[in-house]
Amino acid sequence: MTPTLYLTRNGLLEPLGQSQVLAYLRGLARDYRVTLITYEKDNDRTDAARMAAMRAECERLGIRWLPQRFRSWPKVIAPALSMLRMAWLAYREIHTQGVRLIHARSYIPAAVALLVSRLTGVPFIFDMRALWPEELITAGRLRRGSLLHRVMVAAERACLRRAGAVVSLTQAAVEYLERTYPAEMAGQRVVVIPTCADLERFKPAPAQPERRVIGCLGTVLSGWFRLDWLAGFLAVAAAHDPEAVFQITTRDDAAQVRAALDPDGRLGDRLRIAPSVPDLVPQVLQAQTASVMFFTDGLGKLGSSPTRMGEILGCGRPVVANEGVGDAARIIREHRVGVLVQGPEPAAMAAAWGDLQALLCDPQLAARCRAAAEQVFSLEPGTVAYQRLYAQLTEEGRPCAG
């Protein structure tokens, strides 16, 4: 089997690592000898039982897993140090394991892959995931035109030009990149692979929940989630349905989330905020009536394909969302699997709540949500698309272009 190297700063024990890294590697590891470098957060690393279980799973799949410690502080310095270690590990693995392809998930691993590729001639896939510099600007964590921003844009440009292939989550992001970097994108091999859901796990429940449960899955304190919109929607929903409960499933600080969503304490026990281990997330979604996801729009979210959307639809549940987030609005409209909120005003939220009630009366809704998930977010076509890229690049054995 052809040796390959997968680089990511996500942790394999995180929900994202399991749904968007390990899920694909289960299929890829059948044909490729994968070395996987991840960065695990301390609260996951200290869970000895889960670490041992993951090691066993990787061994069963034939994946050589090299977990590293994730550090976020000091700011800028910590990512730089992790890049240096990742580069050293990648260079070592190429020479000791005979790696013939590097799969770099997101920008920092791609910058590492770019450097190592130039030194060794091993091609790499720039798996963008999103337009990261624009996301950071949208979240207020990066200033446009700053030195750091200019460095990130230069790295983005170089990775787009020299990658053996580019993977984008959305067609909207590809169109933006082609306008912004016409020279770098000219002739580049580009594939759109949305974040995929493991639909063997995320599937409809036999029966609808007895009580109306409005959910929200994933981080809401990222800086690019619209907490004010979520608070507004929950307030309207609570006023219209006194029996409804609201379930925020997140690893974010619960006290901070509650303070933002219910500062006056009006929702009380109706608002439930708690994390979930990845294995139980399908059950959480199955017990909900609908799930809400409001993200900042603009350039920062053109490249976003929210993982939670495929998982929600896979469970036969509709989504409540906003415009301007990757291809999400187009999917909702084309498949009639949710409601698009037009603004943060109470009237707009009330209109969306009314639209949701009408949608929930449709007896075909659950089946339609599931069908949309299978068509757009299925793990199998996503894995096949990666397998095709792996085969093309390893068979060509081509060096970096440019």
What rounded mean pLDDT belongs to the chain? 92
Tell me the mean pLDDT in the region 97-126.
97
Q: Tell me: the pLDDT tens digits for 136-169?
A: 887 788 999 999 999 999 999 999 999 999 999 9
Cα–Cα dist 53/23, whole Å: 16
What are the structural domain ranges in the chain? Answer: 2-195+379-396, 213-376
Whole-number pLDDT of residue 138: 79
CB atoms within 10 A of CB 160: 21
CATH number of 213-376: 3.40.50.2000
CA distances to 6, 57, 392 from 312, in Å:
27, 26, 33
Tell me the mean pLDDT in the region 40-61.
95
Q: Tell me: the pLDDT tens digits for 290-349?
A: 999 998 877 777 787 888 899 999 999 999 999 988 889 999 999 999 999 999 999 999
Q: Are 392 and 37 in contact (CB under 8 A)?
A: no
Q: Tell me: the pLDDT tens digits for 180-228?
A: 999 999 999 999 998 888 898 999 988 777 789 999 999 999 877 999 9
Give residues with Cβ within 8 angstroms of 370, minimum separation 6. Answer: 203, 204, 313, 314, 316
Looking at the predicted structure, is the pLDDT value of residue 402 above 70?
A: no
Instruction: Look at 201-210, 261-270, 344-353, 383-392 and tell me which has the smallest mean pLDDT.
Output: 201-210
> 135 vs 67, which has greater pLDDT?
67
Q: Which of 330, 303, 304 is nearest to 174 (CA)?
A: 303
2-195+379-396 against 213-376: fold identical? yes
CATH number of 2-195+379-396: 3.40.50.2000
Give residues with Cβ within 8 angstroms of 211, minimum separation 6. Answer: 243, 244, 245
- The alpha carbon of residue 218 and the mean position of all alpha carbons in its chain are separated, in whole angstroms, by 10
Residue type, 198: D
